[in-house]
Amino acid sequence: MEIAELWGKGWSLRPEQDPRTMTYIGTITRAGMNFHYYRGDDGEIYFDDEPEGGKPEWMEKADRKQRNRRSRKTIKR
């Protein structure tokens, strides 16, 4: 499947999903936003978006905080 075919398909990543555990497919840039597409273990297509030039520091900080919460929950189980 071509990366251009993915536009408009897939699901937005949920906060509990970690793109580092998924297979990266590619990136599409539209209207100043980068859409990064991934394939999950379940075979579904997911995407994460960020402004061109990267996420602002406050957004990166929130992402790190959310990933740390997830990792602490998986360790406690």
Q: What does the mean pLDDT of the chain come to? A: 83
Contact in structure between 49 and 34 (CB atoms under 8 Å): yes
Asked whether the CA dihedral 25, 42, 22, 62 is positive or negative, the reply is positive
Q: Which domain holds residue 40?
A: 3-76
User: How many domains does one find in the chain?
Assistant: 1
Is residue 16's pLDDT more than 70? Answer: yes
pLDDT at 63: 81
Is residue 64's pLDDT more than 80? Answer: yes
Is residue 3's pLDDT more than 80? Answer: no
Distance of CA 56 to the CA centre of its chain: 16
Is residue 70's pLDDT more than 60? Answer: yes
